Homo-oligomer: A and B are copies of this chain.
Amino acid sequence: MPSPLEKARRDPDSTKARILKKARTIFGEYGFHGATTRMIADEAGIDISTLYYHWGEKGDLYEAVVIDISTDLQQKLAEVESIVRGRPLAERMDIAIDCMTDYLFEHPEISNLVLFRYFAKTRDESLVDFRVPEVVSDIARSMGLCKDKKRVPNIVKMHVLAMMNAIHSFVSGESFFRSMLDIQRDEYVSMVKETLKFILLPAFAGPASKKGIQD
């Protein structure tokens, strides 16, 4: 039998799916403790008990949200990989930065929730797996930073984490940073891309870098 999450992903117009969608943004904005089930129910335009009927307790809903965004992220990464496959490294990174930045700015709750899970403790610690290790290895391989997905050296994992953190930080910090820079959203987005390339391309695809596979 399908899990509640599978049902919701299968039928995006269902009430279940609508609750999940709102839960993503509310949990993303306020974190686990900052978000209340009432806020989510209100946003979804339903009674709070309907939320509990569909998703069980708050922690279960949160878990579903985490798995949901994790799945989306993996799908997007696979999509990007199929686009950049075969191209030279500098081009791969250039395209990947553009794609992932656009995607995450369209779904900022993904970056928010990823960062929340990295950094914030939860009073009741029920750790969802989150599949970060796989994601990191996937990126390492598709960016051609290592030969074998199975054996990614730690330093390469760190490089991938640095890239991911850089994007997530700029996406999640948008309101804070933009008010500081006093610019519009689209200008901010293109400035983020520019900055990411300024920082990342010289290190990974610049003239002094190894420009390819290492393990």
Residues of A bordering B, CB below 8 Å: 29-34, 112, 115-123, 132-133, 136, 154-155, 157-159, 161-162, 165-166, 168-170, 172-173, 176-177, 180-181, 183, 191-192, 194-196, 198-200, 202-203, 206-209
Q: Which of A133, A191, A194, A202 gathers most chain B CB within 10 Å?
A: A202
Contact of A173 among B119, B177, B196 (CB under 8 A): B119
* Cβ contact within 8 Å between B203 and A199: yes
Q: What number of copies of this chain does the assembly contain?
A: 2
Q: Which B residues touch A32, using CB under 8 A? A: 34
Extra contacts, 15 of them, besides A162-B199, A198-B203 (Cβ < 8 A), are: A30-B33, A31-B33, A31-B120, A34-B34, A34-B121, A112-B120, A116-B120, A136-B180, A155-B195, A159-B195, A162-B170, A165-B166, A165-B173, A169-B169, A203-B203
Contact B119 A195 (CB under 8 A): no
Contact check, B208 vs A172: say whether CB atoms are below 8 A apart.
Answer: no
Residues of B within 8 A of A166 (CB): 162, 165-166, 169
Contacts of A162 in B (CB 8 A): 166, 169-170, 195-196, 199
